[in-house]
Structure 1
């Protein structure tokens, strides 16, 4: 085993954008550390293309199905959440992709393998080949699939998550509280930018109004319409709606609200950090990456109808910390927002609580610690 790594493989999956974004953030930090040979591999896509196509489509459709009471993703998440490592379900998942992964490792000859998605095949195979394996958990909650006895080190978002893993039998020295890796745009330096200057340059938003950022891509047209009508009734607010890759929703909203002076509608934007910086608060779903980005930029979050599974658990964690609010109807959301805007102190109190748990430069921290850990393992 090399004492100084030069080649890294990062394993990820396309179930949502979070795992891929985390992988890219890590590759960016490895580059800054002088390690340029970093390959990101979507293992399920490489190893089981048909199964990957079906499963990713089912995952994307699960949110719509849950609205009609058929929450198959949520059911499967909670049924398997506390399963033992030798459980039949986990043994099955731990074999997925192992044949293709072995071929990829032989081809790439990495000095370490990092997983940003729970692939049991990775630590299993890496141990047999004497290659260090690492896992970056991309949520604030724990699921049994992340745990494997052969992982050399875990990187997690919070102290609470580390404590939970220790109770599951993982040695404390194998767990590092790092935060969740984010893109460079979400470094702490972003907070030093002038919000009013950004506001003026970003599509003529009014710097004298409180900006509510609505991440709308995961919600249906009917729900978004109700939200928009409710929020526009608040005299002190302006609303920015980001539809992401939901082009159909973007077209319909732009047609319907073409003459609304205090509403801006966007599709996919690559500078979402700027919109976050000028926003008083954000309405969003509860993905680990999105919430981590909001924490770094100190944006209070209102989580609307979190989807069952890790997103619901993420939402519950932040709500317990009193840095996010959960609503299950547009009426409840409107009450929460009116309460939030009623006194300036609420925003400052939330930001103070955010500072107690936020982690910055997680990707840089992980890369530095990972290189140090590889050197230690090389001398054992």
Structure 2
């Protein structure tokens, strides 16, 4: 039995979603036990509350300050980057006394980190708590920031060649870099048709459907977009997904359908992938996970209000690939949607571009590599474990 520990930090929903996708992927392989834990659970309440509030306040309320910090902390020199991350780990270590104890008790064979905080802490935990284990890092940003680089990492799983090139330029060993895509829900690997999912969810079988994933956006700005789209886009239906954002649902509660366009308001849902397949066009901010899910299905996207820093980089990569358009002015959203719906050849080009860079099987590919590499390098030759590579066909 191989025991895998996935560590993440619940700063933003993307890391949580990526960890969940990896857990599901590892669980598909035989003789594997998977643990997935939020490292912040094992931090002191003082640190946990402070870092969570700081992230939310900076990224949502003072985005330019967040951008300045994000860009200012990105170090080009490899040694300086690693030393900086080690310094941060030493500062954080007193607040994470329970994390080393947990890892030692869990006794995993391999640790997979899906966020920077647990990855850099492992450098110190290896020494102090004697929990040294092979560690792999899954980067969930389109461009790999220097805070992802640490001592003792056996491999980095990256979204694209561009992020790999950035790390190589910083001096990271190319043999440690594996371009797999960002791990997303395995639902994205299942064959689906637009007609079938529309019928399943009582969506219009004819005409265009626009889905706006607005949970992370400002409610007033979303209201402006939705009102304009319903009135002028010409779509058969506009679907708004608010997620946990109750303020957003309240902000659009008085908006109504018209003769040509229906409006559907949704809160938390479990069929995001179905909506992506059903849609002719999606509107979203540039979170690494949601954009990866959309790319995996080849659905064109319009990107609005990316968080300065990593989300702006995500948006640039998608737009430069031709899989989406990035708009800064809200007033341009409806005209852009109108243009795209009236030019199906342009939408077809965007779909093809999205499919070319989408990676629906990223989580499975990461799990297979980790398990195969673990067996090849760390399990003795007289072990009774069968090669995981031979079992991959059964899994997929």
TM-score by length of 1: 0.90
Quote the residue 2:171 is aligned against.
169
Change over 3 Å in CA distance of 1:102–1:83 after alignment to 2:
farther
Residue 251 (str. 1) matches residue 244 (str. 2): no
Quote the residue 1:332 is aligned against.
332
Q: Aligned partners of 1:111, 1:342: CA distance in 2, in Å?
A: 54
Q: Aligned partners of 2:286, 2:69: CA distance in 1, in Å?
A: 18
Quote the residue 2:212 is aligned against.
214
Q: Give the secondary-structure state (helix, strand or coil) at the position aligned to 1:152.
A: strand
Residue 79 (str. 1) matches residue 72 (str. 2): yes
Q: Aligned partners of 1:64, 1:319: CA distance in 2, in Å?
A: 23
Q: Aligned partners of 1:349, 1:74: CA distance in 2, in Å?
A: 32
Residue 19 (str. 1) matches residue 6 (str. 2): no
Q: Aligned partners of 1:62, 1:358: CA distance in 2, in Å?
A: 30
Is the deviation greater in 216-225 or in 242-251? 216-225
Change over 3 Å in CA distance of 1:83–1:170 after alignment to 2:
closer
Q: Give the secondary-structure state (helix, strand or coil) at the position aligned to 2:252.
A: helix
Unpaired runs of 5+ residues, structure 1, are none
Q: Aligned partners of 1:258, 1:53: CA distance in 2, in Å?
A: 40
Change over 3 Å in CA distance of 1:222–1:251 after alignment to 2:
closer
Q: Aligned partners of 1:305, 1:226: CA distance in 2, in Å?
A: 13
CA displacement, residues 206-264 of structure 1 (integer Å, 9 cap, x when unaligned): 2222111001112223211210122121224420001110112213423x025556100
Select which of 21, 36, 45 maps to 2:41.
Answer: 45
Quote the residue 1:227 is aligned against.
225
Contact 2:85 2:150 in 1 (8 A): no
What is the Cα-based RMSD across aligned positions, in Å?
A: 2.1
Quote the residue 1:239 is aligned against.
238
Contact 1:7 1:110 in 2 (8 A): yes
Q: Aligned partners of 1:114, 1:264: CA distance in 2, in Å?
A: 39
CA shift, 1:310, in A, is: 0.8
CA shift, 1:123, in A, is: 4.2
Contact 1:186 1:293 in 2 (8 A): yes
TM-score by length of 2: 0.87
Q: Aligned partners of 2:328, 2:244: CA distance in 1, in Å?
A: 24
What pairs with 1:180-199 in structure 2 (closer than 5 Å)? 180-187=182-189, 189=190, 192-199=191-198
Q: Aligned partners of 1:271, 1:217: CA distance in 2, in Å?
A: 15
CA shift, 1:135, in A, is: 0.3
Residue 91 (str. 1) matches residue 86 (str. 2): yes
Q: Aligned partners of 2:84, 2:44: CA distance in 1, in Å?
A: 18
Contact 2:157 2:177 in 1 (8 A): yes
Unpaired runs of 5+ residues, structure 2, are 381-396
CA shift, 1:195, in A, is: 1.5
Quote the residue 2:292 is aligned against.
292
Q: Aligned partners of 2:85, 2:179: CA distance in 1, in Å?
A: 25
Change over 3 Å in CA distance of 1:378–1:39 after alignment to 2:
same
Contact 1:296 1:360 in 2 (8 A): yes
Structure with the larger RCO, 1 or 2 (CA within 8 Å, 6+ apart): 1
CA shift, 1:279, in A, is: 0.4
Quote the residue 1:201 is aligned against.
200
Q: Aligned partners of 2:187, 2:252: CA distance in 1, in Å?
A: 28
CA displacement, residues 14-73 of structure 1 (integer Å, 9 cap, x when unaligned): 11111111111111111111244322121133123322222212322334413xxx6332
Q: Aligned partners of 1:259, 1:216: CA distance in 2, in Å?
A: 18
Aligned residues: 368
CA shift, 1:289, in A, is: 0.6
CA shift, 1:124, in A, is: 4.7
Contact 1:243 1:265 in 2 (8 A): yes
